[in-house]
Structures are given as structure tokens and as C-alpha cells.
Amino acid sequence: MAAQVSAVPEPVLATRELGKRFGGVVALEALTLAVAPNEILGLIGPNGSGKTTFFNVVTGIYPADGGAVTFDGRDITRLAPQGVYRAGIARTFQRSRLSLPLSIFDNIMVGNHKRLTQGLWFNLFRRRAFRREFEESYARARELVAVFDPPLADRMFEAVEGLPMIDRRRIEICRALISRPKLLLLDEPSAGMTHDETTQLMDDILQVKDSLADLTIIIIEHEMGVIERITDRCAVLNFGRKICEGSYQEVAADPLVQEAYLGLE
């Protein structure tokens, strides 16, 4: 797993001197980061170090104050979230953002937006074609959910609000994956789960990644065991700055990192 990629020739995602401040708070400071194709990058750092903000700026929820983001060789710094998604980046949210009154299937289809036919005429009157699209989408969504939890795949038309947190996290990841993004951003996917559930979720993520030809993942995660096991490389943030980058072993041994964690926890 630990394919060492220190010099990245053609990164999938690259940020240069990325900055973001909220009033007086500097959430990201001159962050330069490159993510290689097909790697799993762990983004770690104490609470409030800017990890979520990094995702929010990359996905266009917040405009960057300075710097640039390049995805797939294309400048996406100024793109709105819609454009970022269409370019091939999908994400999950730290605080789960599923639509609770909707079914599992509906929630996953939200993530499939760019692959579904959106014309009014098609949707209202070409019901046979719509049905084909619906059945295909159902089959794909079901297959994806089954990787994470086969019993859940038999409950696709149940409301999400009745499900436990682990299932919600799984569905959120499926929602992000269904459109076949090139880059998946996972913001603390195991938050609120037990140790065993976390282990299982990570296995599932690895399994999905293996089954998809071209998928790069950035994962924000607190549990160091998880980081060690699934990431190829890590970047550590503290007060919005990257203080260290490298394999888990390198990062864990770094005195700055130890200080950042000890100093705050």
C-alpha cells in the first residue's frame, strides 16, 4: 500500500499558496499541496487547523482569498461548487448532510445529478426511457451500497432518518461515489462510530477504491490507526499551515507534529 510518492509528476489536485481567512482567523495560510493520481492522502491536524476549510475552498463553497487550485491540469480556483462537482470532485461532510426525509435511493441519486437526464419533457412524458434510466441507476446504487453493507442494499426505499449513524455515513460515501468522481474528499467519515465500525468502514472504502480504476482520495481523520493503515501519504495542518508531509511514519516521528498534537490535546 505504502507506495512512496514524494515527487509527483502530474498531480490530480494541486494547490498553490492557498489562503482563506474568516475575519481575524487565518483558516488556511499559503497552503501548497499536491495529490498524486490514485493515492490516498491523509489530511490530519488538531481541531480548528483548517482541514474542513481546505475542502470547502477546494469545492468552491468558500472562495479562496489567495492562491490557486488546479484539478486535472485545469484551474478550478474560481469555480462554484457545481462546476467543481462536474469537473469530477465529490465530497462528504463532517456533519452528515443527508436529506433525512428522503429514501436511501433518493439520497444517492442526489449525488448522481450530472448523470441523470434533467429535461422536463423527458421526466414527465418519456416515462419508458425514464424507467430505463431509473432501473439502471437503481442497479448501480444498489451495487455500491452492497459493497458497504449488503443488508442495507435491500432497504433502498427506506427513509434515511430511521438509520443509525454508521449507515448514514455509508450512504453519504455512496452518494459521493455514484457519479464516479476522480477525486473523493472524505471529511471525518468515521466520526461518531465505534472502533470496529471504523475498521469495517475503512475496509469497505479500500475495497471500493480497488474496484474503481481511477480514484484519488483525500481523507480527514482523527484516528491515527486508521491513517496509518489506509493512507499512502499524510499532510499535517496546524493553524492553517502545512507543517509536515510524508508517509505516516515520517509524519508521526516529526517533532513539530508531536508538538502540535501535544500542545493542543
Ligand X SMILES: Nc1ncnc2c1ncn2[C@@H]1O[C@H](COP(=O)(O)OP(=O)(O)O)[C@@H](O)[C@H]1O
Residue ranges binding another protein (CB under 8 A): 59, 61, 80-82, 84-86, 90-91, 93, 97-103, 106, 109-111, 113-114, 116-118, 120, 123-124, 127, 130-131, 134, 138, 142, 156-159, 175, 179
Out of another protein, Mg ion, ligand X, none, which partner does residue 179 contact, by CB within 5 to 8 A per kind? Answer: another protein
Number of residues that bind Mg ion (CB under 5 A): 2
Q: Which is nearer to another protein, 100 or 253 (CB)?
A: 100
Q: Least distance in Å: CB of 175 to Mg ion?
A: 19
What pairs with residue 238 in β-bridges? 241
Residue 224 in grid coordinates? 491515527
Contact call for residues 51 and 260 (beta carbons, < 8 A): no
Q: Which is nearer to another protein, 137 or 199 (CB)?
A: 137
Residue with cell 470532485: 89
Distance in angstroms (rounded) separating the CA atoms of residues 58 and 19: 11
The sign of the dihedral angle between the CA atoms of 124, 127, 133, 139 is positive
Q: Least distance in Å: CB of 148 to Mg ion?
A: 23
- Residue among 174, 187, 217, 169 nearest 53 (CA): 187
Out of another protein, ligand X, Mg ion, none, which partner does residue 80 contact, by CB within 5 to 8 A per kind? Answer: another protein
Residue 111 in grid coordinates? 449525488
**Which parts of this chain interact with Mg ion (CB under 5 A)?**
52, 94
